[in-house]
Amino acid sequence: MAITLPELPYPKNALEPYISERTLEFHYGKHHSAYVTKLDGLISGTDLESENLETIVKKSAGDASRVLIFNNAAQVWNHSFYWQCMKAGGGGAPSGELNEKIESDLGSLINFIEEFKTAAATQFGSGWAWLVLDEGRLKVTKTPNADTPLAYGQKALLTIDVWEHAYYLDYQNRRPDYINTFLEKLVNWDFVAANLSGSMSAAVAM
Ligand code: MN
């Protein structure tokens, strides 16, 4: 199965004025696209060539001989997931099952927001902050570079990309402003809720 660049879930100017069309032209059109092209070349002719993206990430995780494959595969997966974590007119507060789960596992929405902001702001250098489901409980985590919760058996519910390429054109070195704007104006709680609802029903089915 060839690895392909998924469509963005919205036009490149949809997140303006918070994330510019120019940022998405580079971030999606150049960075994400380059990870797809590199990965496709790296798996060509190997036993991973016909595997799907999640399998490639999981099979290359922790394999010293496949660091390049892992880095590119994880970055393809992380970015495809990240685009869906935002929408025009996002922000606000989660409701229903997701809100209850945040309150029971993380104390309160305010506490979650603080933990998530801290994880995103303190990831040294490039990386990602996450809300994940880990053995049935919500956790806020951060990963360096390409690393991803998929490699640890965690279910990703939400992420923010804190590589400089995600925000430098719009926010320069002001990473905290980008993080605040992501949470206040862009986060797609419906997508987060659907991820939780999917994993909770899968867990029940098991
Ligand atoms: Mn990125």
pLDDT of 59-73, one tens digit each?
Answer: 999 999 999 999 999
| Percent of all residues in the chain with a pLDDT value above 70, rounded to a whole number | 96
Residues 200 and 162: their CA atoms lie apart, in Å, by 28
Tell me whether the CATH fold assigned to 21-84 matches the one assigned to 96-205: no
Residue 39 CA to ligand 1 center (angstroms) comes to 15
Task: Parse the chain into domains and list their residue ranges.
Answer: 21-84, 96-205
How many angstroms separate the alpha carbon of residue 201 from the centre of ligand 1? Answer: 30
Strand partners, 48: none
Distance 130 CA to ligand 1 centre (A): 14
How many whole angstroms from 111 Cα to the centroid of ligand 1?
26
CATH 1.10.357.10 fits 21-84, yes or no: no
In angstroms, what is the span from residue 162 Cα to ligand 1's centroid?
Answer: 7
pLDDT tens digit sequence for 11-56: 999 999 999 999 999 999 999 999 999 999 999 999 999 999 999 9
CA of 203 to the centre of ligand 1 (A): 30
pTM value? 0.95
123-147 tens-digit pLDDT: 999 999 999 999 999 999 999 999 9
User: Under CATH, domain 96-205 is a member of which superfamily?
Assistant: Iron/manganese superoxide dismutase, C-terminal domain (3.55.40.20)
Distance 206 CA to ligand 1 centre (A): 34
